[in-house]
Amino acid sequence: MLYPQESETRDVKDLSGIWKFKLDGVGRGLAEQWYKAPLADPIDMPVPSSFNEITPDKAIRDHVGEVWYERHLFVSDRLQGQRVCLRFGSAEHTATVWVNGTEVAHHVGGFLPFEADISDIANFGGNNRITVMVNNVLTWDTLPTGYIQTYDDTNHPEGFRIQQHQFDFYNYAGLNRQVLLTSTPKTYIEDILIRTDRDGKAGIVHYSLDIAADAKSFSAKVSLFDEDAQLVAASTGTEGSMTISNVRLWKPGNAYLYEAVVEVLDESGSLVDIYRLSLGVRSVKVTETQFLINDEPFYFQGCCKHEDMDVKGRGFDHAMLLKDFYLMEWIGANSTRTSHYPYSEEFMQLCDRKGIVVIDEVQAVGMRCEEDSTQTYNDTHISSRTLAHHKKLMAELIKRDKNHPCVVMWNIANEPIVNEKKAGEYFAEVAATTRELDPTRPVSLVTGDVVKPEECYPFEYIDVMCINRYHSWYSDPGHTELIEMQIVNELTPWHEKWHKPLIVSEYGTDTIAGMHALPAVMFTEEYQCEALEAFHRGFDRLPFMIGEHVWNFADFATKQGVKRVVGNKKGVFTRQRQPKAAAFLLRKRWAKL
């Protein structure tokens, strides 16, 4: 799905602002057809934002189930005859959209965009009522997974229920990214696929266009420009290849972007549609001990992140987006993983521009049944229904992000149960689907389970091993002197078994900013630094290690529980993006690397 842009043939209207909002705790809205008339007794709610954070009302923060959004929209009559769509950057986790009382879209799976064609529904030259029902419930058939726990006892009121899930971040919900009104011609460029290669000093750009054709006859032209707006290559037709002499490669920390201008022309040669796409020329390869970008060894250094902030929750915010990028640049990060869901398209575009390498992760998290961890993959929990949804989301993610040069790897899950043989069968299918959709990038999977390497059945089917370890935190708490030995002794057998490169994709400790002790004790800034230094000594002894991603970039919100005090405090920055001592330690290390 192409990112919306304005051009000679396209229009985009941002619908961000204050919408009407209403909880639907018992699911009355559909039965009573709230989409048929304006919402009764709504409150105001900003879009984009997570509705959980906006009001002081506990019932709204902890709401489980459906919520309703509504706004009125004037659609200009000059758009009549165009393809007019509502485009949602995301809606967590299931959404249904109505325009003027007519259903126009239904989407399952948060964090990814979807659109509704309203060309035949809209009232052009007048007002239109947009109604959106969003449901934040997670089940074993969704990703992330979860389940609703209900209570039938004297200690809970009738109908009391809570959302349970096995992941450690807050289940923010609502319209968390921008909603746009877009228009294109009826004959329009629906999709573009770019794949790049090199031949000596020349760059090869292969392209394929999907044209939704309302016209009887059309032609297509692709022109490629460098950053000085000089034409460097051109081609005609819906498929083809272009050669760039003396190509400038897209490199980590030194991004160079070309611009492909795609035009659709009618029989007379007049412009019908035009789309401009940034692209980078680079190659990716994996060996037994290395990750190569443009045939040069690359070492992943950086932090995992969350889309998380005060007040807005996971709601998209340009200021916070840029703040985080400037801090990543300051700390010396060259990469990140979109833990544990796809991040905004604007995030991916900035990574392209700034040369930040991305491990792109689908929202496959929480895939574990803690009641009986040996029976996760069955018809009750992770089932064929989950697998079908997983494949669908991988297809949506790859369709959205396939042209980003920053994306060097697809990560198909975070910390699922891996030591059931059915886990191998499940992820063999997901990995095969991913490679079929994109054979140009390697596939990874993250495990956090402490199992024998041969019992991690999915690793047979992936290209890069990603392992999360929290030595001296969840194991041997307080004993940082063990970390170096444990890292070397534990990780070496993984490489000996699978003969694949390895990233320590999470490591760290909870740290309360401003808490100090000498000698260091848990939760102090000294302890976080001491632990990170011990991890690093172990990493530096392992020749098959290709990266280190600290958990986490910044403190973030989680559900309430006895293991968390107002969220997860493993950030090297606070939730307000102020540095802890560990940020300076990492800045010094990564400058040397």
Q: Which residues are catalytic?
A: 415, 506
- Main-chain dihedrals φ then ψ at residue 125, nearest 5 degrees: 80, 15
Sequence-distant (≥ 6) Cβ neighbours of residue 120 within 8 angstroms:
none
Q: Return the CA Rg of the chain.
A: 25
Cα separation of 69 and 48, whole Å?
A: 11
Q: What per-residue string of b and e applies to 561-576 under the rule 16 or more CB within 10 Å gives b? A: eeeeeebbbbbbbbbe
User: What are the tokens at 546?
Assistant: 């290709």
User: What are the tokens at 160?
Assistant: 């009391």
Cα separation of 512 and 527, whole Å?
A: 10
DSSP state of 589: H
- Main-chain dihedrals φ then ψ at residue 346, nearest 5 degrees: -65, -35
Cα separation of 67 and 50, whole Å?
A: 12
Sequence-distant (≥ 6) Cβ neighbours of residue 428 within 8 angstroms:
458, 460, 461
- Main-chain dihedrals φ then ψ at residue 277, nearest 5 degrees: -125, 125
Q: How far is CA 246 from CA 201, 243, 251, in A?
A: 5, 9, 15
Cα separation of 565 and 319, whole Å?
A: 27
Structural contact between residues 580 and 573, judged by C-beta atoms closer than 8 angstroms: yes
Q: How far is CA 568 from CA 20, 352, 560, in A?
A: 32, 29, 10
Sequence-distant (≥ 6) Cβ neighbours of residue 344 within 8 angstroms:
89, 90, 177, 307, 316, 321
Residue bearing tokens 């891996």: 418
